[in-house]
Structure 1
Amino acid sequence: MRLISFLSAVLVFGTAAAQTITSPDQHLTIAFQTVTPATASPGQSLTGLPPSPQGQLVYRVTFHGKELVESSALRLELRDQPALGTAVRIVNVSTSSIDETYRLPHGKTSTARDHCQALRLDLEETAPPARKFIVEARAYNDAVAFRYVIPAQPGLSEYVLTREATEFRIAKDPITYALVLPNYRSMYESEFLKLPASAFSNQGGVKSSSLIGLPLLMEVPGVAWAAITEADMRGNAAMYLENPSGSWAGHYFESRLAPQVEDPAVAVRSTLPHNSPWRIILVGTEPGRLIESTVITNLNPPPAISDISWIHPGKASWDWWNGSQGRDGKPAFTTETMKYYVDFSAHSGFPYMLVDAGWSSLDNITRINGRVDVPELVNYAAPKNVRIWIWLHYRGVVKQMEEAFAIYEKWGVAGMKIDFIERDDQAGIDFYYKVAECAARHHLMVDFHGSTKPTGMERTWPNVMGYEAVLGMEQSKAGARDNPDSHVTLPFTRMLTGLMDYTPGGFENATKADFVPRGLAPMVMGTRAHHLAMYAVYDAPVQMVADSPAAYRDQPSFEFIRSVPASWDESKVLAGLPGEFIVMSRRHGNEWFLGAMTNWTQREVEIPLSFLPSGSFTAEIYADAADSATSPKNISIRKQGVDRAKTLKLSMAPGGGYAARLAPAKP
């Protein structure tokens, strides 16, 4: 269903009055106006902006009547031209409302609602060449968003953006959970650091700066939880953030776009008209509300694929993480070993098996290297109702995309895990879209690794089933970075942007004191229940089951992994704080699954089951045992009757967890 109603269209000449839209629930407001240095709000610095009759375009955001974002500048710096947005007037304003529901074939919900108030500002410079541009904005109950639109016009023959200087002036010095990255060529695989925003401008008492990847989660005390991210990236470069103040009192951020690898002086080069990505500020009274939001997919175009009958979420066995252990427990990257994993998938009811790196060369992704014969494996798996995913290197895909994807379709491959992309400049973003489109023509699903963060393109291209861009369980093979503190931060940070291929399933559970990193049969920190809960917490439509088949043999707790879905009809965050703990419930059909994890702090949480519909349910519970703090593989499994009037008491050991399957009781 789609409803768009135009509420007003007003011509506004020579005025600096604020143009405002408010969310449907009336709690969240975004306003735009032009200001001069003389009319700037108290405390706002417009240093470096030229005075003008109409002035600088700014926006501000309030939540429940409290200021969340102070007046913040909007401007674009174009090559060989003055900045656009510093001396403008609003010449036309129109508002509208959107109320649309749409289907998602996989992810945290099967039905999403796009419900907002919308605003369009037509702007013109106050001096020749009087260039024009548009700002489109939307106010949702859980977010505000805006983007720049540059129309074709006499004053601009080509759009060459050198810098976007969008400001995010947070009303207080917020506590941030920030992904600090070394440069624009990373894989987003690092911790989210809990620091005040001012820490990123003045380290060691001197002016300094840090490059921050999205999303950026913030707690603005007494106002809201908020996060900055982006959506609908086609034709653009990824946005990063920097605190440019250099001051111990500075607590604002400014956008930084990934520069073109081939021409670092340019961020975006395009013909006109051109749309920037949507700049999004997610907002909620609690951090869990941000996880539930569908704003990022709302702001992407509808599906470009008419027939999605071949796109299926599901779990996959995987050889790489555990060291390609074969039937004898020894590592062997061979066709016979991969058949062992196919047999494991078939026995477990998993629809997929993933063959990782090594079956082809990095540069030639159509030539089988002799160790693993992919067509033979596909033919072996087909009668067992298992389909094969294959690993590819970015370098080979760039060289052979059309040729290789056609061959994989002929072989009968289900999908591709494309790794080591390591770029999200304009050409890098273009690569993601080219892969999605080409793969769709050949009925291939895609999982991006060594990648940028998601931005909602899975709505447009539903064959995109995952992104890595996370400090995942693979880190356990090398060090201690993958741990319960990180596990309970990721849902509130990285997972805000969407699909997250963390690759769970480690069954060699260890305490912090006993953990030793190793490549073969790796250990994982956290209890068995903690790692089961990841399957109900982390969003991954193709969810890995990463340990060796032998690790799950004769383990009663493996039944939860067998039964838990990889995609959901509904998701709710019941409790939690980033870095502390999380409790989530998710619905698939008429069953609910509960997942809870804590950091290294032992914790008891009482969870009302009011999210359940009426009727009686049987809860199959996988909880920490009495001795899980010292013997983390031990787990308590039990069944009990529950209904929506009851409360579950979750007792979690240090690094512990809780997982449950709640099914309607049989008559």
Structure 2
Amino acid sequence: MTLTARQSLFLILFLCSFCIDAQKVSSPDGRMQVILNLPDKNKPDGVSYKVLYQSGKTLSEVVRESKLGITREDQQFVGNLLFVGQSEPVLVKDAYDMICGKRRHCENTAVEKKFHFKNTNSQTLDIIFRVYNNGVAFRYVFPDASDSKLSITGEATTYVLPKKADRWMQPYDPSYERFFPYSTGESATDKTQQYGFPVLYKLQDQPVWALISEADISEGNCAARLTSTSNADEYQITYPSAAQSEQPWHSQWHTVVIGKLSDIVASTLITDVSAPSRVKDTQWIKPGAVSWIYWANNRGSKDYQIVKDYIDLAVEMNWPYVLIDWEWDVMVNGGDIIDAVNYAKSKSIKPMIWYNSGTSWMEPTPNDRLQTAEKRAKEFSWLNKIGVYGIKVDFFAGDQQEMMQYYIAILEDAAKYHLMVNFHGATVPRGWARTYPNLMSTEAVYGAEWYNNTAELTDKAAVHNTTLPFTRNVVGSMDYTPVTFSDSQHPHITSYGHELALAVVFESGLQHFADRPSAYRSLPEPAKEFLKKVPVSWDDTQLIDGYPGEKVIIARKKADKWYIGGLNGKDQAQTLTVIFDFLGKGTYSFELIKDGKDDKSFSSEIIKVKKGTVLKIECLPRGGFTGAIR
């Protein structure tokens, strides 16, 4: 966004006055403030912070006073810090484009300030804060150059939430495939429960929301999580293991997106603070829809004839890609992987194939083909030779530093061979989609694949699907494998209208449409045509209405067209209201597809709308609607 004259004036006044208010860092518009409690210059002590946000005329404490600090194997920087100085505040302002994601053009605008400390052993630590109009980010830095290795063992960093804050938190799982149950924290009995990022919460008495996560993981970091403490509202940053590095060293950015719920959904803070692209030539990176074989059969791609059918489906549905999943190395029934790839290319469909990362479960094959640079070079050269455009890499084993290094190595080597990447059984996105734009999507979600595994998703899908747009999908592309109408191992009870809307509500640079070919072929023409044309990467994203677990209406723009998806998360019928405030001047045609007379049918119509039009859409229990505005 461009700074207004008022914001620029405020910033000038803010910078000029900063010398007399050294403990405060404010956002460019002045509504967000970080207050630091610094130790006396002559007395070692701890450092703490809190975050204030002005919503309307109310100034709310979004993060109550919380600890800062970090520990190394050889030194601690927690309660033994001396404040020795600070930098001048600087305006961080840059713009960048994303190939896939919720918004093509992004702007990164914040006020940054560095605070310098020494511990009682005269070892240096910097803490950097960036304060945005809709969020806060901070990181630790050991700035001294040294040949000796550091072992960073953990952090004292905490987040103390407002009392009785409503919260949606996912119990930690290495693959981040759990639900985000609602709580207020008061019912927690396990004081050592760990939670995976992101964490969403809302102030009880204000329409103010916050989402905690982290970004810009490098080879020198592990990926953190949160652990509850004896205080029901306090959560501490926890490392899975120590991180080894030379100096200078910096932690990942700890991030808190803050504002209205629409600010949470629209935020690009995770990529804003992440390193710029390391891939110079990106013309070969093309987001797109993918036909996917695994879901319907609960098997891989061993059967050549089934693989051919999914390639034919991609042709019929105008989807550019097909994913050939596990067991392709033992393909039978009339052809092998080379035959499958050649058949896809003969139909102008671009094939992608699956790999076991080799770091965990060793059963699904092929495995152990990517674990070293030499193996990757051999495999990726072969993929280039036969004509494969991307890889799906599955079954990663945790968030420790060596896994972060493995992810990055795969992304860097894949970029050299012009291969797009989809991570499965993986850590949640932490900004790599900006640094390595060939990362198209990541699973890290309890997705439709789970209809194959247990009966739990059947009853929870509607609530879960209306929670993910405010939690997991905020921080990056999400390979949920959506839009399934038939049943896999366990049944659906979400409506057909709900399932179709997932194509818009869920964002993923590679959108894997997971159902069997017969299900897509039997769709009525309006639904089928919608799936043939719906984009997977977006120029803009706006939340129209929603509340976690109850409802969501999202509008996404591609070129001059808007697409809308709405979901009912309740077990009873609900009216969803669309206010077309996001439109420009003129009259538009809204091609609406919604629930029909029952949950396995559609109703479609074309409605004339213009800016300010209010449209009420009746949805069945666990129902939904979608449509395009032209």
Is this a same-fold pair by TM over 0.5? yes
The DSSP-based 3-state class of the residue aligned with 2:316 is helix
Paired residues of 1:500 and 1:538 also in contact (CA < 8 A)? yes
What is the distance in 2 between the residues matched to 1:52 and 1:255?
Answer: 28
How do residues 351-430 of structure 1 correspond to structure 2 at under 5 angstroms? Answer: 351-360=320-329, 373-395=336-358, 396=368, 397-399=370-372, 400-430=375-405
Paired residues of 2:78 and 2:156 also in contact (CA < 8 A)? no
In the other structure, the counterpart of 1:58 is: 48
For the aligned residue pairs, the C-alpha RMSD in angstroms reads: 2.5
In the other structure, the counterpart of 1:454 is: 429
In the other structure, the counterpart of 1:29 is: 33
In the TM superposition, residue 227 of structure 1 has moved relative to its aligned partner by 1.3
Paired residues of 2:593 and 2:602 also in contact (CA < 8 A)? yes
Q: Residue 306 in 1 paired to residue 280 in 2? A: yes
What is the distance in 2 between the residues matched to 1:427 and 1:198?
Answer: 36
In the other structure, the counterpart of 2:623 is: 656
What is the distance in 2 between the residues matched to 1:151 and 1:371?
Answer: 61
In the TM superposition, residue 550 of structure 1 has moved relative to its aligned partner by 1.0
What is the distance in 2 between the residues matched to 1:118 and 1:645?
Answer: 38
Name which of structure 1's ranges 385-394 and 214-223 shifts more when overlaid on structure 2. Answer: 214-223
1:294 to 268, 273, 291: 268
Paired residues of 1:378 and 1:413 also in contact (CA < 8 A)? yes
Name which of structure 1's ranges 432-441 and 614-623 shifts more when overlaid on structure 2. Answer: 614-623
Q: Residue 134 in 1 paired to residue 126 in 2? A: yes
In the TM superposition, residue 33 of structure 1 has moved relative to its aligned partner by 2.9
Q: Residue 193 in 1 paired to residue 162 in 2? A: no
In the TM superposition, residue 480 of structure 1 has moved relative to its aligned partner by 3.2
1:95 to 89, 96, 118: 89
In the TM superposition, residue 100 of structure 1 has moved relative to its aligned partner by 1.9
What is the distance in 2 between the residues matched to 1:332 and 1:276?
Answer: 41
1:574 to 544, 556, 561: 544
What is the distance in 1 between the residues matched to 2:179 and 2:346?
Answer: 43
Name which of structure 1's ranges 609-618 and 140-149 shifts more when overlaid on structure 2. Answer: 609-618
What is the distance in 1 between the residues matched to 2:64 and 2:535?
Answer: 43
In the other structure, the counterpart of 1:43 is: none
Q: Which runs of 5+ in 1 are unaligned?
A: 37-50, 260-266, 326-330, 362-367, 510-517
In the TM superposition, residue 620 of structure 1 has moved relative to its aligned partner by 1.2
2:239 to 250, 257, 260: 257
What is the distance in 1 between the residues matched to 2:187 and 2:222?
Answer: 26
In the TM superposition, residue 374 of structure 1 has moved relative to its aligned partner by 2.4
Q: Residue 433 in 1 paired to residue 408 in 2? A: yes
In the TM superposition, residue 2 of structure 1 has moved relative to its aligned partner by 11
How do residues 238-257 of structure 1 correspond to structure 2 at under 5 angstroms? Answer: 238-245=223-230, 250-257=232-239
Letter of the structure 1 residue corresponding to residue 279 of structure 2:
I
Letter of the structure 2 residue corresponding to residue 615 of structure 1:
G
In the other structure, the counterpart of 2:364 is: none
CA change 1:624–1:393 in 2 (3 A) is same
Paired residues of 1:96 and 1:119 also in contact (CA < 8 A)? yes
Q: State percent identity of aligned pairs.
A: 29
In the other structure, the counterpart of 1:529 is: 497
1:593 to 563, 570, 585: 563
Paired residues of 1:18 and 1:31 also in contact (CA < 8 A)? no
CA change 1:646–1:8 in 2 (3 A) is closer
In the other structure, the counterpart of 2:221 is: 236
In the TM superposition, residue 385 of structure 1 has moved relative to its aligned partner by 2.0
Q: Give a deviation string over 1:72-95, Cα, whole Å, max 9, x none.
A: 111111114334563221322321
What is the distance in 2 between the residues matched to 1:582 and 1:412?
Answer: 40
Letter of the structure 1 residue corresponding to residue 558 of structure 2:
H
1:604 to 548, 571, 575: 575
The DSSP-based 3-state class of the residue aligned with 1:525 is coil
CA change 1:82–1:554 in 2 (3 A) is closer
Q: Residue 218 in 1 paired to residue 168 in 2? A: no
What is the distance in 1 between the residues matched to 2:334 and 2:89?
Answer: 61
CA change 1:578–1:146 in 2 (3 A) is same
What is the distance in 1 between the residues matched to 2:301 and 2:448?
Answer: 21
Greater percentage in helix:
2
What is the distance in 2 between the residues matched to 1:372 and 1:496?
Answer: 41
In the other structure, the counterpart of 2:113 is: 119
CA change 1:220–1:359 in 2 (3 A) is same
Letter of the structure 1 residue corresponding to residue 617 of structure 2:
L
In the TM superposition, residue 372 of structure 1 has moved relative to its aligned partner by 5.7
Q: Residue 77 in 1 paired to residue 67 in 2? A: no
What is the distance in 1 between the residues matched to 2:414 and 2:332?
Answer: 23
In the TM superposition, residue 276 of structure 1 has moved relative to its aligned partner by 0.3
In the TM superposition, residue 270 of structure 1 has moved relative to its aligned partner by 0.4
Q: Give a deviation string over 1:407-428, Cα, whole Å, max 9, x none.
A: 1122111111101113111011
In the TM superposition, residue 107 of structure 1 has moved relative to its aligned partner by 1.0
In the TM superposition, residue 222 of structure 1 has moved relative to its aligned partner by 2.3
In the TM superposition, residue 450 of structure 1 has moved relative to its aligned partner by 0.2
Name which of structure 1's ranges 77-86 and 58-67 shifts more when overlaid on structure 2. Answer: 77-86
In the other structure, the counterpart of 1:168 is: 159
In the TM superposition, residue 139 of structure 1 has moved relative to its aligned partner by 0.9
CA change 1:153–1:456 in 2 (3 A) is closer
Q: Give a deviation string over 1:20-72, Cα, whole Å, max 9, x none.
A: 22122221111223248xxxxxxxxxxxxxx9814211111001122222221
In the other structure, the counterpart of 1:620 is: 591
Name which of structure 1's ranges 638-647 and 537-546 shifts more when overlaid on structure 2. Answer: 638-647
How do residues 333-344 of structure 1 correspond to structure 2 at under 5 angstroms? Answer: 333-344=302-313
What is the distance in 1 between the residues matched to 2:473 and 2:18?
Answer: 42
Q: Residue 107 in 1 paired to residue 111 in 2? A: no
Q: Give a deviation string over 1:480-536, Cα, whole Å, max 9, x none.
A: 332111111111111121110000121127xxxxxxxx53xx632300110111011
The DSSP-based 3-state class of the residue aligned with 1:443 is coil
Q: Which runs of 5+ in 2 are unaligned?
A: 359-367
In the TM superposition, residue 10 of structure 1 has moved relative to its aligned partner by 11
In the TM superposition, residue 318 of structure 1 has moved relative to its aligned partner by 0.9
In the TM superposition, residue 335 of structure 1 has moved relative to its aligned partner by 2.2
In the other structure, the counterpart of 1:347 is: 316
CA change 1:621–1:82 in 2 (3 A) is closer
The size of the alignment, in residue pairs, is 599
In the TM superposition, residue 565 of structure 1 has moved relative to its aligned partner by 0.5
Q: Give a deviation string over 1:462-487, Cα, whole Å, max 9, x none.
A: 00001000000011123333211111
Letter of the structure 2 residue corresponding to residue 233 of structure 1:
I
CA change 1:169–1:645 in 2 (3 A) is closer
Q: Give a deviation string over 1:112-144, Cα, whole Å, max 9, x none.
A: 11111111112223x3x2111111111111110
In the TM superposition, residue 324 of structure 1 has moved relative to its aligned partner by 7.3
In the other structure, the counterpart of 1:515 is: none
In the TM superposition, residue 333 of structure 1 has moved relative to its aligned partner by 3.2
Paired residues of 1:74 and 1:85 also in contact (CA < 8 A)? no
CA change 1:82–1:106 in 2 (3 A) is closer
Letter of the structure 1 residue corresponding to residue 537 of structure 2:
S
In the TM superposition, residue 448 of structure 1 has moved relative to its aligned partner by 0.2
How do residues 455-534 of structure 1 correspond to structure 2 at under 5 angstroms? Answer: 455-482=430-457, 483-508=461-486, 518-519=488-489, 523-534=491-502
Letter of the structure 2 residue corresponding to residue 605 of structure 1:
L
